[in-house]
Chains A and B, each alone.
Chain A
Amino acid sequence: MVYQSQAVAKPYFIAAIGLFVGQVMFGLILGLQYVIGDFLFPTIPFNVARMVHTNLLIVWLLFGFMGATYYLIPEEAETELHSPRLAIITFWVFLAAGVLTILGYLMVPYATLAEATGNSLLPTMGREFLEQPTLTKIGIVVVALAFLYNVGITVLKGKKTVINTVLLLGLTGLALMFLFAFYNPSALTLDKYYWWWVVHLWVEGVWELILGAILAFVLIKVTGVDREVIEKWLYVIIAAALVTGIIGTGHHYYWIGAPEYWQWWGSIFSALEPLPFFMMTLFAFNMVNRRRRNHPNKAATLWALGTAVMAFLGAGVWGFLHTLAPVNFYTHGTQITAAHGHLAFFGAYVMIVLTIISYAAPQLLGQGEARSNRQQVLEMWSFWLMSVAMVFIVLFLTGAGILQIWLQRVSENPQPFMAVQEQIALFYWMRTVAGIVFFIGVMVFVASFLVKGREVARETPAAIEAAA
Chain B
Amino acid sequence: MSASFTKSMARNIFYGGTVFFILVFLALTFDTTRALPARDHRENLTAQVAEGKEVWEKNNCIGCHTLLGEGAYFAPELGNVYERFGNNKEAIKIFIKTRPRNGVPGRRSMPQFNLSDEELEAVAEFLKYTSEIDTASWPPNIQG
Contact = CB atoms under 8 A, between A and B. Distances in A.
Interface stretch (A9-17, A29-37, A84-92, A360-368): A29-37
Nearest to B16: A239
A128 interface: yes
B116 to A, nearest CB: 11
B143 A232 contact: no
B11 A38 contact: no
Interface size class of B (residues with CB under 8 A): 35 or more
Contact of B144 (A50, A242, A417): A417
B40 interface: yes
Interface in A121-160: 123, 125-128, 131
Q: Is the interface of A mostly helix, strand, loop or mixed?
A: helix
B32 A232 contact: no
A114 interface: yes
Given A186-B49, A232-B10, A246 B21 contact: yes
Interface string A224-250: 000011011101101100110011011
Contacts of B33: 190
A238 B49 CA distance: 42
A414 B143 contact: yes
B87 interface: no
A259 B76 contact: no
A254 B17 contact: no
A18 interface: no
Contacts of A254: 136, 138
Interface size class of A (residues with CB under 8 A): 35 or more
A334 interface: yes
B72 interface: yes
A235 B109 contact: no
Interface string A149-174: 00000000000001000000000000
Interface in A104-128: 110-111, 114-115, 119-120, 123, 125-128
B74 interface: yes
A228 B8 CA distance: 10
Interface stretch (A41-49, A344-352, A440-448): A41-49
Contact of B64 (A47, A255, A329, A408): A47
Contacts of A417: 75-77, 143-144
Nearest to A408: B143
B133 interface: yes
Contact of A128 (B70, B77, B107): B70
B114 to A, nearest CB: 9
A293 interface: no
Contact of A192 (B25, B39, B68): B68
Given A128-B70, A333-B70, A417-B76, A232 B36 contact: no
Contact of A34 (B24, B70, B74): B74
A47 B64 CA distance: 5
Contacts of A228: 7
A329 B103 CA distance: 33
A335 interface: yes
Nearest to A227: B7
26 contacts: A37-B107, A38-B103, A38-B105, A38-B109, A42-B101, A42-B102, A45-B64, A47-B62, A47-B63, A126-B59, A131-B60, A186-B50, A188-B67, A190-B36, A228-B7, A246-B24, A247-B25, A249-B25, A252-B70, A254-B136, A256-B69, A262-B32, A338-B73, A414-B142, A417-B75, A417-B143
Interface of B: 1, 5-7, 10-11, 13-14, 17-18, 21-22, 24-25, 28-29, 31-33, 35-37, 39-40, 42, 45, 49-50, 53-54, 56-64, 66-77, 101-109, 111-113, 129-130, 133-136, 138-144
